Amino acid sequence: MSNVLWQFPPMALHLVIFDCDGTLVDSQYGIVRSMQQAFLSFGLIAPQPDAVKRVVGLSLDHAVSVLAPDLGSSDVHQVAGTYKALFRELRLAGESPEPAFAGVIESLRILEDRGYLLGVATGKSRRGLHAVIERLELEGRFVTLQTADDVRAGKPAPDMCLQACAEAGVDPGHAVVIGDTSFDIEMALSAGAKAIGVDWGYHPADELSAVGAAAIARHGDDLPNLVDQVFGRSA
Residues 224/114, Cβ–Cβ less than 8 Å: yes
C-alpha torsion sign, points 229, 188, 114, 123: negative
Q: Name the catalytic one among 19, 159, 180, 184.
A: 19
DSSP code of residue 86? H
Length of the chain: 235
Tell me whether residue 19 is one of the annotated catalytic residues. Answer: yes
Provide the strand spans (E) within the chain: 15-18, 117-121, 144-146, 175-179, 194-198, 215-217
Tell me whether residue 21 is one of the annotated catalytic residues. Answer: yes
Q: Name the catalytic one among 21, 26, 180, 184.
A: 21
In sequence order, the β-bridge partners of residue 178 are 18, 196
Phi then psi for residue 179, to 5 deg, are: -155, 170
Q: Which residues are catalytic, by number?
A: 19, 21
